[in-house]
Amino acid sequence: MGARLAVRDVSLHFGGVKVLEDVGFTVDDGQILGLVGPNGAGKTSLFNCVSGHYRPSAGSITIDDVEIIGSSPARLARHGLARTFQHPALQLHDTVLENVLLGAHGRLPGGPVEWALRLPRTTRTEKQLRAEALDLLERNGLGWAARTRADELSHGLHKGIELCRALLMRPRLLLLDEPAAGLPHGEVEQLIASVRRVRDEGITVVIVEHNMGLISAVTDRVVVLDHGRKLMEGTAAEAQADPRVIEAYIGKDAADDAA
């Protein structure tokens, strides 16, 4: 059995700007990989390549050994890929529950006509999906907010809503882009528990995050990017102790001072 996700020699150029250069790594089934690096390193761009939002200039990306470059985001979502965004795009005037239910789109039976006619099969499925969405909100600490309008909640909670929406898609591979950004310190523990449970349910996770506490707590391995290139790969502890990583984050002079 191959890797769930394999990124090989991926480059992404916009005109003369080299956003990614020959990046490669694999993620095995059921693992959590951290993707870290300074601002502008190319982390979100790499996610955009994996989710079909960007098309790499070179390289290969496979999910379960199937080449996915050229597939649309919608097609990849139907085949088990879900992601959250660094800047969540929610329907702000809708409730939290309605926002989560948007993740059920690909799981509805029949076509739009059947859905519009509200045939019995559809309403039964709708009820099941609603129950499942509520359950996900409960388990991720957001049950209390199900009927609150999204615009009444903080950025940090929007991230949790997006996580529930992604999970309602029942993905096999989940990409999380800075899920802890904007979360109050006390709620990072809840997020750690959520990510671990997701993995225990058999979902493979790639997580972009600046919060090293979260990265250390949940990841099996990390890949460090800097200026579009892979700097190193190892455990979170190895990455944090690596002089190249320290230098990338704080600059060479400061790294020398710290040594």
Ligand X SMILES: Nc1ncnc2c1ncn2[C@@H]1O[C@H](COP(=O)(O)OP(=O)(O)OP(=O)(O)O)[C@@H](O)[C@H]1O
Residues that bind ligand X (CB under 6 A): 14, 17, 19, 37, 39-45, 86
Choose among ligand X, Mg ion, none what residue 17 binds, the Cβ cut-off being 5 to 8 Å by kind.
ligand X
Beta bridge partners of 35: 208, 223
Which of 15, 111 has the CB closer to ligand X? 15
Q: Is the dihedral of CA 196, 201, 206, 207 positive or negative?
A: negative
**Residue 211 sits in the site that holds Mg ion (CB under 5 A):** no
Which of 41, 50 has the CB closer to ligand X? 41
Choose among ligand X, Mg ion, none what residue 110 binds, the Cβ cut-off being 5 to 8 Å by kind.
none
Which of 19, 222 has the CB closer to ligand X? 19
Rounded to whole angstroms, how far apart are CA atoms 73 and 109? 20
Question: Least distance from C-beta 43 to Mg ion, angstroms?
Answer: 5
Helix (H) or strand (E) holding 244: helix 243-250
Strand ranges of the sheet holding 32-36, from the earlier edge strand across to the other edge: 81-83, 173-177, 204-208, 32-36, 221-226, 229-234
Rounded to whole angstroms, how far apart are CA atoms 89 and 85? 8
CA 173 to mean position of chain CA atoms = 9
**Residue 194 sits in the site that holds Mg ion (CB under 5 A):** no
Rounded to whole angstroms, how far apart are CA atoms 101 and 204? 22
Distances from the Cα of 182 to the Cαs of 131, 246, 252, in angstroms? 28, 24, 29
Q: Please check whether residue 35 is in contact with residue 223, taking contact to mean a CB–CB distance below 8 angstroms.
A: yes
Which of 196, 210 has the CB closer to ligand X? 210
Interface mask (CB under 5 A) for Mg ion, residues 52-91, using x and -? ----------------------------------x-----
Which of 35, 68 has the CB closer to ligand X? 35
Which of 44, 219 has the CB closer to Mg ion? 44
**Residue 140 sits in the site that holds Mg ion (CB under 5 A):** no
Query: Which range of residues in 27-35, 40-48, 106-114, 250-258 is near Mg ion by CB under 5 A?
Result: 40-48
Question: Least distance from C-beta 86 to Mg ion, angstroms?
Answer: 5
Choose among Mg ion, ligand X, none what residue 41 binds, the Cβ cut-off being 5 to 8 Å by kind.
ligand X
Q: Please check whether residue 23 is in contact with residue 42, taking contact to mean a CB–CB distance below 8 angstroms.
A: yes
**Residue 51 sits in the site that holds Mg ion (CB under 5 A):** no
Q: Distance between the two ends of the chain, CA-based, in angstroms?
A: 43
**Residue 44 sits in the site that holds Mg ion (CB under 5 A):** yes
Choose among Mg ion, ligand X, none what residue 40 binds, the Cβ cut-off being 5 to 8 Å by kind.
ligand X
Residue number, nearest CB to Mg ion: 44
